[in-house]
Structure 1
Amino acid sequence: MHAMQYEITLPADYDMGIIRERVAARGHLMDAFPGLGIKAYLMRERGEDSPVNQYAPLYLWTAPEGMNTFLRGSGFQGIVQDFGRPDVQHWAGLSYGEGPASAALPHSATRLRSPVPPSAPPAEAIDAALEESRRLAKTSGAVATALAVDPRHWELLHFTLWDHPAPQEAGDRYEVLHLSRPERDQLGEGRQW
Structure 2
Amino acid sequence: MHAMQYEFTLPADYDMGVIRARVARVGHLLDGWEGLGIKTYLLRERGVHGSPVNQYGPFYLWNTLEGMNRFLWGGAFQGPVDDFGRPAVRQWTGLAFEEGAAAGSLPAFALRRRRVVPDGMELAAFMADAAAGTTRLAAADGAVLAAAAVDTRAWEVVHFSLWEHDTPEADGDLFQVLHLSAPGRDRLPRGRQW
Q: Which category of TM-score, normalised to the shorter sequence, fits these structures?
A: over 0.9
Q: How does 1:8-23 map to 2 (within 5 A)?
A: 8-23=8-23
Deviation larger for 105-114 or 65-74: 65-74
Q: Is the 8 A contact 1:42 1:176 kept in 2?
A: yes
Q: TM-score, normalised by structure 1?
A: 0.98
Identity %: 58
For the 8 Å contact 1:142–1:160, the answer to whether it is kept is: yes
The answer for the alignment partner of 2:6 in structure 1 is 6
Q: Which moved more, 1:84-93 or 1:120-129?
A: 120-129
CA distance in 2, matches of 1:179, 1:119: 38
Matching residue's letter, 1:180:
S
Answer yes or no: is the 8 Å Cα contact 1:109–1:166 preserved in 2: no
Residue 105 of structure 1 aligns with which residue?
106
Q: Deviations over 1:89-122 (max 9, x none)?
A: 0000011000111011000000000000011111
Please show how residues 1-150 of structure 1 align to structure 2 within 5 Å.
1-48=1-48, 49-150=50-151
Q: Which residue in 1 is equivalent to 2:185?
A: 184
- Aligned partners of 2:5, 2:158: CA distance in 1, in Å? 11
Report the residue type matching 1:51 in the other structure.
P
Distance 2:17 2:87 in 1: 21
Helix, strand or coil at the partner of 1:152: coil
Please tell me the residue identity of whatever aligns with 1:102.
Answer: A
- Which whole-Å deviations, capped at 9, do the CAs of 1:107-161 have from their partners, x for residues lacking one? 0000000000011111111111112111111111000000000011110010000
Q: Which amino acid in 2 is paired with 1:98?
A: E
Please state whether the residue corresponding to 1:75 is helix, strand or coil. Answer: coil
Asked if 1:174 is matched to 2:194, the reply is no
Once residues 80 and 44 of structure 2 are traced to their aligned partners in structure 1, the CA distance between those partners, rounded to angstroms, is 17
Distance 1:3 1:166, change over 3 A: farther
How far did residue 168 of structure 1 move? 6.4
- Partner AA of 2:34 in structure 1: P
**CA offsets, 1:70-95, max 9 Å, x none?**
00133210011001100000000011
Q: Partners of 1:109 and 1:20 in 2: how far apart?
A: 16
User: Displacement, 1:166?
Assistant: 3.7
Q: What letter corresponds to residue 186 of structure 1 in structure 2?
A: R
**Could you state the TM-score of these two structures normalised by the residue count of structure 2?**
0.97
Task: List structure 1 runs of 4+ shifted beyond 6 angstroms.
Answer: none
